[in-house]
Amino acid sequence: MNQSKGVLALFQHLDTFCEVIEKVKSRNDFKDHEFYSPTSYHEVEHACAYAPSPVRWFTFFGAMLGTITGFALPLLCDWDWPVVVGGKTAGIYSLPAYVVIGFEFTILFGGIATVLGILVMSRLPNPKVKVLDPRLTDDLFGVFVPDVTLDGPQAKFLKDHGAIELKATN
């Protein structure tokens, strides 16, 4: 989304920020608002009432692909270059030995798919994103409301509820 014009309200304390999130969600005059946090907090996730992350599906399918690959790779190698030990034929009879490789590929592919899922779902990297305030990545929380002015009722509401600073963005 990343609207260019609007008001950015900065908050210093997590509890004040969470209270504002809950109040802003119930108001109709805060359309297309965005919340910014320097890091992930369970309190913010609870206040925003987010749905479960779709990244978990990336992890699941990556792990399943890893399991299939981890069992198929040694099985195909065993069929192509059989090593007959103790009269045991190549192929499916050696399956217990492939569990370790299957497990390792599950973890590897699941981890890679998770990182890719995070990048895809958060639309990173995005060089067109404008940094509203560099302090949002350090120690402050922010609420951005597009298409409002500093003297509007939304800005007054944010200031009355604990915003330490209001900034107009262009």
Please give the mean pLDDT across all residues of the chain.
90
Do 85 and 115 belong together in one domain? yes
Domain residue limits at 32: 6-38+139-169
Q: How many CB atoms are located within 10 Å of the residue 19 CB?
A: 15
Which amino acid type is present at position 53?
Answer: S
Do 115 and 147 belong together in one domain? no
Model confidence over 79-123: pLDDT tens digits?
888 877 777 777 777 788 899 999 999 999 999 999 999 999 988
141: β partners:
11
What pLDDT shows up at residue 132? 86
Do 101 and 67 belong together in one domain? yes
**106 Cα distance to chain centroid:** 21
Model confidence over 35-56: pLDDT tens digits?
999 998 999 989 998 888 899 9
The domain total for the chain is 2
- Return the SS3 of 31: coil
**Residue 20 and residue 161 in contact, taking contact as beta carbons nearer than 8 Å:** yes
